[in-house]
Amino acid sequence: MNGASLQQKVVITNPQGFHMRPMAAFAQLAARFQSSVKVSREGQSVNGKSILDLMLLAAAQGTELTLEVAGPDAQNALDALVRVLKTPTEEDSPEPPVA
């Protein structure tokens, strides 16, 4: 049994883009699911459980990414991962100017 294969498109809204901290959160969460997680941008598809792979996407604000999740826990994985992509991280608040 392979379970379902689900897809969802997500547009990156974070002004800093899909940067390293959300990538780490994404990859660590993806690794907790049995399902395979693929993230693609304009035909380039990478393993969502690897930060190094996610770095290849260089997804700035406004980029559309497609998540493809396949396996027994696909629905839960997809929901949780979409949430991570849409949640800004702590460091995205503007930093005070440096004197």
Partner 1 sequence: MRMSDFVVRDAIIAELPATNKEGVIREMVESLRAAGQFRGADLEDIIRAILKREFLGSTGIGRGVAIPHTKHNSVERLIGTVALSTKGIAFDSLDGEPVHVFVLLISPQDRPGDHLRALENVSRSLRDDSFVRSLRTATTQEEIIALLDRADH
- The residue among 4 and 24 lying less far from partner 1, judged by its C-beta, is 24
Helix runs in the chain, H state only:
20-31, 51-55, 74-86
User: Among the options 10, 18, 19, 78, which is catalytic?
Assistant: 19
Please give the Cα distance from 65 to 86 (Å, whole number). Answer: 12
Please give the Cα distance from 72 to 33 (Å, whole number). Answer: 9
- The residue among 36 and 50 lying less far from partner 1, judged by its C-beta, is 50
Using CB under 8 A as the binding rule, the residues of this chain from 2 to 31 that contact partner 1 are 15-21, 24-25, 28
Q: Least CB distance from residue 70 to partner 1, whole Å?
A: 23
Please give the Cα distance from 11 to 8 (Å, whole number). Answer: 10
**Which of residues 3, 40, 53, 80 is near partner 1 by CB under 8 A?**
53
List Cα–Cα distances, 20 to 2, 6, 35, 38, 86, in angstroms. Answer: 31, 25, 22, 17, 14
**Which of residues 59, 69, 74, 85 is near partner 1 by CB under 8 A?**
59
Q: Using CB under 8 A, list all residues that contact partner 1.
A: 15-21, 24-25, 28, 51-53, 55-61, 89-91, 95, 97-98
Catalytic residues: 19
